[in-house]
A and B are shown apart, each in its own frame.
Chain A
Amino acid sequence: MSVLVDKADLSLKYTAHYNEVKDELFANSSDILNAQRKKAFQNFVLQGIPTRKNENYKYTNLNPAFVPDFKFIHTREEKKADMGEVFRCDVPQLNTNLALVFNGWFYKNETEKGDLPEGVILDSLDSISKERPELLEKYASLANVEEDPMVALNTAFAKDGFFLYVPKNVVVESPIQIINLLQDEKDTFSTQRNFILVEDGAKVQVLLCDHTLNLNQYLNNSVTEIFAGNNAEVEFYTLQNQHNKATNINSVFIDQQRDSRVTTHTASLHGGLIRNNLQFALNGENAEAHMFGMSFMDKKQHVDNFTQVIHAAPHCESNQIYKNVLDEKSTGAFAGRIHVVRDAQKTNAFQRNNNLLLTDEATMQTKPQLIIDADDVKCSHGATVGQIDEEALFYLRARGIQEDKARLMMMNAFAHEVVKEIKLEPLRDRIDELVDKRLKGEVARCHDCAYQCDC
């Protein structure tokens, strides 16, 4: 099918699909999820699939990704993958509590129980929203369907995803790892809706690994809402490792209360088209937000990180470092919006985006945007787009290091600033290794995983 499809037609295909499967969407779903569906759908109808005329999607044309005739999975399917095998795909020595999301649906790890402390819930959004609706009062309160059509579409189609609850003052020692797999015999559209509630004084580390298991086309549209209570501490790592025919639209919304500390790491190692929406709302005094991102793109891959930080309370700090390495004809974008509202005095907001272009054909768009309505704030931003430093390269070569190895050292060095911020040591080592492989041109895939695909 031509990619020059009329935009209205393309959106119509999805609205028609919604109307067709409406009953299936509402059936067996909780009231909480269903309550948002209609309004979300209406908002999608109003906005349609975003084009580049949409200011927030200026650098990413999503339309071609919506063209294939996707299969949708609106009802839980019997597990097709061998879970025991899949769960071997872990981060070595990282003693994690594992769970699986398969084509958007949550599956518990039955083989290993893990060591989650009493009261912590790691389960399916579908079942928790039925069994413990009181834990989901804030569902859809962050992810605004009026502002982003992809969020609207997600909310309209939302059936499942993972749900994580860490009660007051509970510290989860071992990280929680969620493996997102896409696998079907058909080209598949997956909708994933996640919810993380970390109460006052609680602490947790979450690692998300996105994989594709075969060569079909995939579109994954996921939305995650994270609530960090007073003095809560959350580390949220996302490792994106999908093939060139996969589109990953990933929206994460975070609400931070007083004295909380949230760190996100988004490592885009592989993927056809990746769009990461990350929105932080600092709603309590003294909250601290750290955002790190790195990407390694080649071929015609595209990565677009769109961050928004809303400083809504005084004395908060936000800090962003995003780094992209773009090879061949790959393209990248970074747009970072910092909004300091009127009374958010003593705000400290920092943002930096550095990009390394390895060829003349790779391109990068970078755009900071500061909206500052308070007067006593410290805000800074900076961006660079450059090539490998030839002087440094010569220095390494003059010490006997082969050119390709020297280049690799330089690229690793470039990424290092972000990698070193990963606090989970085994994960840091693992990512170091994956980055190194990625840069060497070896497919950086979880090699312990039984599911190999050479795409």
Chain B
Amino acid sequence: MLKIKDLYASVEGMEILKGINLEVKPGEVHAIMGPNGSGKSTLANVLAGKEDYEITNGEVVFEGEDLLEKSPEERAKEGIFLSFQYPVEIPGVPMVNFLKTSVNEHRKHKGLKELTAGEFLKLMREKMDLVDMHTKLTNRMVNEGFSGGEKKKNEIFQMALLEPKLAILDETDSGLDIDALKTVANGVNALKSPERSTIVVTHYQRLLDYIVPDFVHILYQGKIVKTAGKELAFQLEEKGYDWIKSENGN
């Protein structure tokens, strides 16, 4: 599904990703962990098509096609979904408008008929139940005045609406209370299928109790320095990152 080969990315001349290699097969769940500032969000953003980053080397193949030459909107419509670490507030853009436009852009891309307002509202209500989303939020402007947890929930709600092939969840668990964490995890698991894959960026082992990873990677200083099974997350929880840092010459 996704193949990242020797990927280098920099911003304003500063190299942040320094040779990432990662393969995600259909149905797999990959967790990416690593200290602050190691490049996890950068990797997620580069995959989603953020233009601030310059790709200086490497390639990314998604579903057999070169991903890096596509626009963010093309990537989204072809099935990549990024749950943002810091979802942005967009005053003046009503949630419902935004969601309906987004869903219909996806449908058009798939050659499906656009949903009418009524049909969309029905779909929306269904997905709202799934992630316990409240109309007091969907009646507002995109993320405007949402609490930290509400923003994260809104990301998962959008994911549920768009049903991506590859979901990249960038610290979707931070800022969530225990109940919300479960709801979010349920939302993710409800989408689980042999065709869909997930990349979970997290700092805490806790989320991985609910979304069980097939692989755990440690990203450190722009490189994946260790890959193992889910037990690696427990190890990190216990020992922190010092041993990783010293193994890598710091």
Q: Could you tell me which A residues sit within 8 Å of B by CB distance?
A: 389, 391-392, 394-403, 405-406, 409-410, 412-417
Contacts and interface: CB of A to CB of B under 8 A. Distances in A.
Contacts of A400: 73, 76-77, 102, 105-106, 109, 162
B82 A396 contact: no
A399 B161 CA distance: 11
Contacts of B92: 410, 412-417
B56 interface: no
Contact of A410 (B72, B93, B101): B93
Given A400-B77, A401-B101, A405-B105, 8 more contacts: A394-B50, A396-B98, A397-B72, A397-B73, A398-B76, A400-B162, A406-B73, A417-B91
Of A403, A412, A413, the most chain B CB neighbours within 10 A belong to A413
22 contacts: A392-B88, A395-B84, A395-B88, A395-B142, A396-B102, A397-B49, A398-B72, A398-B82, A398-B84, A400-B77, A400-B105, A400-B106, A400-B109, A400-B162, A401-B102, A401-B105, A409-B98, A409-B101, A413-B90, A413-B93, A414-B92, A417-B91
Given A392-B88, A409-B101, A403 B93 contact: no
Chain B interface: which size bin? Answer: 20 to 34
B71 interface: yes
A89 B77 CA distance: 42
B236 to A, nearest CB: 29
A410 B90 CA distance: 8
Contacts of A405: 101, 105
Interface of B: 48-51, 71-73, 75-77, 82, 84, 87-93, 97-98, 101-102, 105-106, 109, 141-142, 158, 162
B71 A398 contact: no
Given A389-B88, A391-B88, A409-B98, A398 B48 contact: yes
A402 B50 contact: no
B111 to A, nearest CB: 14
A414 B89 CA distance: 13
A406 B222 CA distance: 31
Contacts, number: 76
Nearest to A391: B88
A119 B198 CA distance: 72
B76 A399 contact: yes
Contacts of A389: 88, 90
Given A402-B105, A405-B101, A396 B90 contact: yes
A405 B101 CA distance: 9
A398 B141 CA distance: 17
Of A400, A405, A410, the most chain B CB neighbours within 10 A belong to A400
A392 to B, nearest CB: 5
Contact of B158 (A394, A399, A413): A399
Contacts of A415: 92
Q: Which 6 A-B pairs have the closest CB atoms?
A: A413-B92, A400-B76, A416-B92, A397-B72, A399-B102, A400-B105
B90 A395 contact: yes
A79 to B, nearest CB: 43
A158 B29 CA distance: 78
Contacts of A402: 73, 105
Contacts of B84: 395, 398
Contacts of B77: 400
Contact of A398 (B49, B91, B93, B142): B49
A389 B87 CA distance: 13
A399 B77 CA distance: 8
Nearest to B97: A409
Contacts of B97: 409
A401 B73 contact: yes
A71 B75 CA distance: 59
A315 B90 CA distance: 35
B60 to A, nearest CB: 16
Given A400-B102, A409-B98, A392 B90 contact: yes
B93 A397 contact: no
Nearest to A397: B72
Given A401-B102, A402-B73, A405-B101, A395 B109 contact: no
Nearest to B79: A400
Nearest to B141: A413
A1 B92 CA distance: 46
A73 B32 CA distance: 77
B11 to A, nearest CB: 14
Nearest to B82: A398
Nearest to B107: A400
Contacts of B51: 394
A405 B108 CA distance: 14
Of B89, B97, B101, B102, the most chain A CB neighbours within 10 A belong to B101
A364 B77 CA distance: 38
Nearest to B99: A399
B162 A397 contact: no
B87 A395 contact: yes
Nearest to B45: A394
A391 to B, nearest CB: 5
Contacts of B76: 397-400
Contacts of B88: 389, 391-392, 395
A410 B77 CA distance: 20
B210 to A, nearest CB: 25
Contacts of B87: 395
Contact of B73 (A403, A410, A414): A403
Nearest to B158: A399
A399 B93 CA distance: 14
Contacts of A412: 92-93
